[in-house]
């Protein structure tokens, strides 16, 4: 069994291993493809023999990743409508995301 960790970013939790490509919420800041990203909110680390669980985070653990792609999700239409009152509003939204490749668990 290979080593894995559970990290928290963008209000969500992800189970990651070395070599995984994970689609996460956009991180605030100025990033471009190829940049190194460090996730220090590590909740759990398992190396096959023993498991370390944080309270809530593991202070010395971090996950290193490389930004592989920056993109946006398909468009979602948000429609508000009330019948018989001539009320109709339509808005579109495209959620930005990052695709990161996990390089190392430390």
With beta carbons less than 8 A apart as the criterion, state whether 44 and 5 touch: yes
For 54-87, what is each residue's pLDDT tens digit?
A: 999 999 999 999 999 999 999 999 999 999 999 9
Q: What pLDDT is stored for residue 59 in this prediction?
A: 92
For the chain, the average pLDDT equals: 96
Round to whole Å and give the CA distance between 24 and 11. 10
Q: Could you tell me the residue range of the domain that residue 13 belongs to?
A: 4-105
Contact between 73 and 24 (Cβ < 8 Å): no
pTM, whole model, 2 decimals?
Answer: 0.85
The tally of CA atoms less than 13 A away on the side-chain side of residue 53 is: 0
Number of structural domains, the chain?
A: 1
Calculated CA dihedral for residues 26, 30, 35, 39, nearest 10 degrees? -50
Given a cut of 90, whether residue 48 has pLDDT beyond it is no
Say if CB 75 and CB 33 are below 8 A apart.
no
């Amino acid at each position: 069994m290979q080593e894995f960790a559970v990290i928290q970013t963008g209000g969500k939790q992800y189970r990651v291993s070395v070599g995984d490509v994970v689609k996460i919420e956009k991180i605030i800041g100025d990033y471009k493809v190829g940049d190194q990203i460090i996730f220090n909110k590590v909740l759990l680390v398992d190396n096959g023999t023993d498991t370390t669980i944080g309270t809530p985070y593991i202070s010395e653990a971090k996950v290193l990743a490389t930004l592989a792609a920056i993109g946006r999700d398909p468009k979602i239409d948000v429609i508000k409508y009330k019948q018989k009152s001539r009320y109709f509003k339509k808005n579109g939204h495209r959620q930005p995301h990052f695709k990161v490749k996990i390089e190392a668990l430390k």
